[in-house]
């Protein structure tokens, strides 16, 4: 049986929770607010804690719900941007759908099976994620950081599946190009 | 005519790659994608580079943290809430 020990929450979990939130919402102040809200919500719900999951998992569960609430609010207001995303395909493809000369994928000269551990690489990767428009970033993060199914993402964000594909497609085009430019300097 | 219907653009191919990754690509489109990838090295690069990117993303991390001052303040807040 697990028990709760709120006096130790900050010491034991605040940084882990903060890092989790920051990678997902890309705003440090907001991430800090969400951590505080998580702890306070947890305190209000102490009586509902059954002890069937660990204290840590329970706090993460609350935080995840807070992040989804935040996403949903954002996604509702951002879905109107989808039209501009559709136009953006002109950044990558010509009128018949071929790669434009300027965005043709280039050979990176690496072994793609290798795992890159350099800190510099992750800094660039994070900065590329941050350059995505907010809606693209949210969908991209839910898909690839949280490994969610597209159906689940559509449901949680209240977006249609055709919009989902437009968003994820554009996000990947932009991420690949950003990495090529900033990491490979190509 | 058959050929025309079978040939997809790079724009479609890159979209199909995403759908395939999530097992949401129809069989007929899977064949079209396969054919396209067989002849288009740029879309092959797109596919392999994306797989690399996604794999790396799973290991993404950050080292942000609360300052000691923020931790003390937050802990004080929790303790005062508990007394309510």
Would you state the pLDDT for residue A119? 86
Segment (H or E) for A139: helix A134-144
Best residue in A10, A94, A126 for a mutation probing chain B (most B CBs within 10 Å)? A10
What value does the CA radius of gyration of chain B take, rounded to a whole number of Å? 24
Would you state the pLDDT for residue A89? 67
What value does the CA radius of gyration of chain A take, rounded to a whole number of Å? 20
Q: What is the mean pLDDT of each successive set of 10 residues along chain A, which is 186 residues long?
A: 89 96 92 97 92 93 94 79 72 92 92 88 91 91 91 91 92 95 88
pLDDT at residue B61 above 90?
no
Residue with token string 């071929």: A98
Task: Give the mean pLDDT of B64-82.
Answer: 94
Interface contact A18-B64, CB threshold 8 A: yes
Percentage of residues in chain B having pLDDT higher than 90: 77
B3: which 2 tokens?
Answer: 């050929």
For the segment B17-55, what is each residue's pLDDT rounded down to a tens digit? 999 999 999 999 999 999 999 999 999 999 999 999 999
Report the chain A residue with the minimal C-alpha distance to residue B58.
A145
| Dihedral angle over CA of A164, B7, B27, B55, nearest 10 | -50
Interface contact A23-B52, CB threshold 8 A: no
Task: Give the mean pLDDT of B50-76.
Answer: 92
Burial A110-132 (b: 16+ CB within 10 A, else e): eeeeeeeeeeeebebbbebbeeb
- Please report the residues numbered 47 through 66 in chain B whose beta carbons come closer than 8 angstroms to any beta carbon of chain A: 48-66
Would you state the pLDDT for residue B2? 53
Interface contact B45-A105, CB threshold 8 A: yes
Would you state the pLDDT for residue A173? 95
What does the alpha-carbon distance between residue A159 and residue A47 come to, in Å, rounded to a whole number? 35
Would you state the pLDDT for residue B1? 45
Would you state the pLDDT for residue A118? 85
Interface contact A40-B81, CB threshold 8 A: yes
Would you state the pLDDT for residue A26? 85
Would you state the pLDDT for residue A21? 95
- Across the interface, of A89, A99, A145, the residue whose CB is closest to B60 is A145
For A99, list phi and psi in degrees, rounded to 5: -55, 140
Query: Residue A7: which residues within 8 A CB-CB, separation 6 or more?
Result: B75, B78, B79, B82
For A145, list phi and psi in degrees, rounded to 5: -90, -40
Whether residue A179 contacts residue A128, with contact meaning beta carbons closer than 8 Å, is answered with: yes
């Amino acid at each position: 049986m697990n028990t709760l020990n709120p006096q130790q929450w900050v010491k034991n979990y605040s940084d882990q929770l903060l890092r989790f939130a920051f990678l997902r919402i890309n705003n440090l102040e907001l991430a800090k607010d969400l951590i505080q809200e998580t702890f306070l919500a947890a305190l209000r719900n102490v009586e509902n804690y059954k002890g069937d999951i660990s204290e840590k998992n329970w706090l993460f569960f609350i935080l995840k719900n807070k992040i989804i609430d935040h996403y949903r609010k954002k996604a509702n207001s951002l879905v109107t941007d989808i039209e501009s995303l559709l136009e953006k395909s002109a950044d990558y493809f010509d009128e018949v759908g071929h790669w434009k000369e300027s965005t043709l994928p280039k050979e990176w000269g690496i072994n793609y099976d290798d795992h890159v551990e350099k800190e510099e690489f992750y800094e660039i990767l994070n900065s590329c994620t941050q350059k995505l428009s907010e809606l693209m970033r949210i969908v991209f993060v839910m898909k690839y950081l949280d490994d969610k199914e597209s159906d689940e993402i559509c449901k949680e964000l209240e977006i249609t599946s055709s919009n989902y594909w437009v968003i994820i497609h554009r996000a990947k085009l932009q991420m690949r190009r950003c990495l090529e430019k900033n990491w490979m300097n190509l | 005519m058959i050929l025309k219907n079978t040939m997809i653009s790079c724009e479609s191919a890159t979209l199909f790659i995403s759908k395939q990754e999530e097992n949401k690509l129809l069989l007929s489109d899977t064949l079209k994608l396969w054919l396209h990838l067989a002849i288009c090295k740029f879309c092959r690069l797109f596919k392999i580079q994306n797989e690399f990117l996604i794999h790396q993303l799973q290991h993404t991390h950050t080292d942000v943290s609360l300052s000691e001052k923020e931790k003390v303040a937050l802990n004080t807040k929790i303790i005062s809430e508990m007394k309510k």
